Amino acid sequence: MASFQNQVVVITGAGAGLGRGMALAFGREGAKVMVSDIDEESGQETVALVQKAGGTAAFYKANVAHYHQVDKLMAVTVEHFGRIDIGINNAGIGGGQMARLADISLIDYQKTIDVNLSGVFYCMQAELKQMLAQGGGKIVNVASVAGLRPLANASVYSATKHAVVGLTKTAAIEYARKNIRINAVCPVFTHSNMVQSMFDQSPELEQKLVKTIPMGRYGQPEDVAQAVLWLCSEQNNFLTGHALPIDGGSAAV
């Protein structure tokens, strides 16, 4: 039997990149995956890919920056699949134009806070209420290595990811005796649309940044997916409150 057989997993931002990679990985392991994204077309594509690989998935469109849409997403997941065993709070944006702090527009500032910080907070609130009612669960928030140390020209993005690590660690101790484990993953640059748009803004950055990764390559969505499966597995029942770098050794430097 696959290790996540019949477990219900909800993944935000699962229409592309890391979220799609995690949806496919959980689907392969027998989970029932609620794919959510602001973009219906790409979300439905992820559902089709999970199903093509023999997995079970459904789609619900939600913008994580809106509390009521997140609340509805979690309610629909419970209606459809009966419970929420695992919440993967992955939806996030890069923060707009790369710029030093004084030059960041207030529009980019607010949007980044709304999606990357409020979005994770709303998801955690709704997931925790359900997990408390059903007697347990697991949450993984997708932060970033930029949540562990600064990322020049992306101060607001970095601030939101530090905040996600703070939400993760604090909630982990608050619910440690409620059979709810809460961790974060902190990927380094990983191939996705988000990273591609950053490299499109500055092609020389692509050559420069890879040299800062000891393993000498950028991450792949599957690298993150495998770490998340491991964090959520039953073999890890004593592991909570961590912010795990998935970074080819970057955080060790």
Ligand X SMILES: NC(=O)c1ccc[n+]([C@@H]2O[C@H](COP(=O)([O-])OP(=O)(O)OC[C@H]3O[C@@H](n4cnc5c(N)ncnc54)[C@H](O)[C@@H]3O)[C@@H](O)[C@H]2O)c1
Tokens 């199903």 correspond to: 51
Sheet holding 180-187, edge to edge: 56-61, 32-37, 8-11, 86-89, 137-142, 180-187, 243-246
137, β-bridge pairs: 180
Q: Quick one: which segment of 48-56, 128-136, 185-193, 204-212 binds ligand X (CB under 6 A)?
A: 185-193
Amino acid present at 101: L
Question: Given the rule CB under 6 A, which of 7-15, 51-59, 76-84, 128-136 is the region that contacts ligand X?
Answer: 7-15
- The pattern of x and - marking residues 130 through 149 that bind ligand X according to CB under 6 A reads ------------x-x-----
Chain CA centroid to CA 97, Å: 22
Asked if residue 250 binds ligand X (CB under 6 A), the reply is: no
| x/- map, 43-72, ligand X, by CB under 6 A | --------------------xxx-------
Residue 158 structure tokens? 């970095």
Bridge partners (DSSP) listed for residue 243? 184
- DSSP per-residue letters across 35-48: EEES-HHHHHHHHH
Residue 155 touches ligand X, criterion: CB under 6 A: no
CB nearer to ligand X: give 152 or 173: 152
Q: Is 138 left (phi over 0), alpha (psi -120 to 50) or beta?
A: beta
Which residue in 24, 50, 74, 91 binds ligand X (CB under 6 A)? 91
Residue 195 to residue 197: CA distance in whole angstroms: 5
Shortest distance, CB of residue 3 to ligand X, whole angstroms? 23
Select from 126-134, 183-191, 199-207, 231-239 the region that touches ligand X (CB under 6 A).
Answer: 183-191
Q: How far apart are CA 199 and CA 209, in angstroms?
A: 10
- Out of 92, 137, 245, 248, the only residue in the binding site for ligand X (CB under 6 A) is 92
Interface map 206-245 toward ligand X (x if CB under 6 A): ----------------------------------------
Q: Which residue has the tokens 């997708």?
A: 142
Nearer to ligand X, 55 or 147 (CB): 147
- CB half-sphere exposure, 251, CA atoms < 13 A: 16
Rank residues 42 and 155 by Cβ distance to ligand X and give the closer one.
Answer: 42
Footprint of ligand X (CB under 6 A): 12-13, 15-19, 37-39, 42, 63-65, 90-93, 115, 119, 142, 144, 187, 189-190, 192-195
